[in-house]
Every structure is written in C-alpha cells, then in structure tokens.
Amino acid sequence: PPLSQSKTSKRSEDSGKNTEQDLPKRIWYDLAMIKSSCSSCCTWFHAHGQNIGLFLLRVSMAIIFIYSGYHKLFGDMPAFTGMVAGLGFPAPAFFAWAAALSEFVGGIALLLGVFTRVFSALLVVVMAISIYATEASGFMGMTPAIALLGSSLAVFFTGSGSWSLCQLGRCC
C-alpha cells in the first residue's frame, strides 16, 4: 500500500503529530549508522582541526619565505638592494638585508613554530612593502604578497598552535 495508507502514517494523521516513531525504522537505523560512523571522525577533526590547519599554514608559508629569503641572501643581494633603493629607502642595504633575513629566519621560525608572533609581525611589514613595490605590475603581480600578508596576519593573531616547538618550551 502507499505510504499514506501505512499504519505509521495513519497514527500520525490520527494524533496530528509527527514524531520520530512515525518515520520508517530503516531511515532511523541508517541515520544512526551514519551518525555513529561520523561521530568519531567529526570529534577528532573538531579537537585537532584548528591545530592541523595552523601547522599546514605555517609550513606552506615557511617554504615560500625560506626560499625567497635564501635567494636574496645567497643569490643576488645587489639586485635586491637596488630594488629597495628604487623604493626610496634611506639606507637600502640595511633594509634589503633586514627584509631578506626576516624572510629567511622568519620562515625557519614559522616552520619550527617558535616566536611565530614576532616573526609574523616582521613578515607583515615586509609583505606590506612588497605590495607597495609591486603595485605598478597590477593586481596579479600583488596577489602573492597579498596572500602572504593575510597568512602572516592570521598566524600573528592565532599564534603557532599546539603542533609547534613553541608549545614545548612555552615561547612566544
């Protein structure tokens, strides 16, 4: 018979209320199975998801900053110093070295999860200047610096998370 003529639907029509008992038992069984299989997974993600996300964010930022800082420090520092001079900085060699060291050492600190707020603050400044320096190339030229600025701000405000060496020694 059609569902409208089943006993459960007659009961709900008679009482005027829809309760859990009115639905077919197999639906509730399926829902219970899904809930029980998802429960442990969801609980684990709820407990660890933020720390995993922060760890992955820190690692991806570290790769970029270490690579970029390394090539400035051990690659073509005179060209980078010339670019900083072109921005009008009063002591271009000092600021070029400061930016390159902030990227390289800051990337290592992010990777390890030590002093993340300190280095994130330095990297925010470096990325803000990078956005200013690349604005002539248009929005597409600025997008990597904008993404790294946002990532640096996120790590600055959230800290390193529990998957870091900082949590072992209780550093910044």
Q: Is residue 8 scored above 70 in pLDDT?
A: no
> What's the pTM?
0.74
Q: Is residue 123 scored above 90 in pLDDT?
A: yes
What pLDDT is recorded for position 105? 98
Interatomic CA distance for residues 110 and 62, integer angstroms: 6
Q: Is residue 11 scored above 70 in pLDDT?
A: no
Q: How confident is the model at residue 69 (pLDDT cuts 50, 70, 90)?
A: very high
SS (H, E, C) the chain: CCHHHCHHHHHHHHHCCCCHHHCCHHHHHHHHHHHHHHHHHHHHHHHHHHHHHHHHHHHHHHHHHHHHHHHHHHCCHHHHHHHHHHCCCCCHHHHHHHHHHHHHHHHHHHHHCCCHHHHHHHHHHHHHHHHHHHHHHCHHHHHHHHHHHHHHHHHHHHCCCCCCHHHHHCCC
Q: What is the mean pLDDT of residues 99-103?
A: 98
What pLDDT is recorded for position 12? 46
Quick: pLDDT tens for 152-165.
999 999 999 888 88
